[in-house]
C-alpha cells in the first residue's frame, strides 16, 4: 500500500434549521487527508489513516477511519514515502 497525501473538494451544507439563503457558501471546501491508499480506481480513492501491523505475523491486517473520496473530487495526490522504509517497533 502507498502512503499518500490527498487534497480533495467536498460539499458544504446540511444546516439543521431554516436559514437565510443570502449567507449560503458558494464554494466547496478544500480538504486534506493522509493515509494508506487501499483502493485507487477511476471511480474512487479509499484512504485509511490507521492500520494494524502489515507484516505477516498471523494477524489479519485491519484498518480504521477509512474515507472513500470520488476520484473526480481529487485535486492532488502525492506519495509520501515508500512503506517498506517504515519500521514498526514491537
Q: What does the mean pLDDT of the chain come to?
A: 84
Per the model's pLDDT, the better-predicted residue between 86 and 62 turns out to be 62
So what's the pLDDT on residue 84? Answer: 61
Global pTM value: 0.75
So what's the pLDDT on residue 87? Answer: 58
Nearest by Cα to 82 from 6, 1, 21, 13: 1
- Residue 54: pLDDT band (50, 70, 90) is low
Nearest by Cα to 25 from 13, 16, 17: 13
Amino acid at each position: 500500500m502507498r502512503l499518500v497525501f490527498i487534497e480533495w473538494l467536498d460539499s458544504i451544507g446540511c444546516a439543521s434549521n431554516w436559514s437565510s439563503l443570502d449567507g449560503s457558501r458558494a464554494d466547496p471546501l478544500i480538504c486534506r487527508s493522509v493515509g494508506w491508499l487501499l483502493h485507487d480506481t477511476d471511480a474512487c480513492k479509499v484512504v485509511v489513516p490507521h492500520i494494524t501491523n502489515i507484516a505477516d505475523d498471523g494477524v489479519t491486517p485491519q484498518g480504521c477511519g477509512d474515507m472513500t473520496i470520488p476520484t473526480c473530487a481529487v485535486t492532488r495526490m502525492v506519495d509520501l514515502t515508500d512503506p517498506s522504509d517504515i519500521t514498526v517497533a514491537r
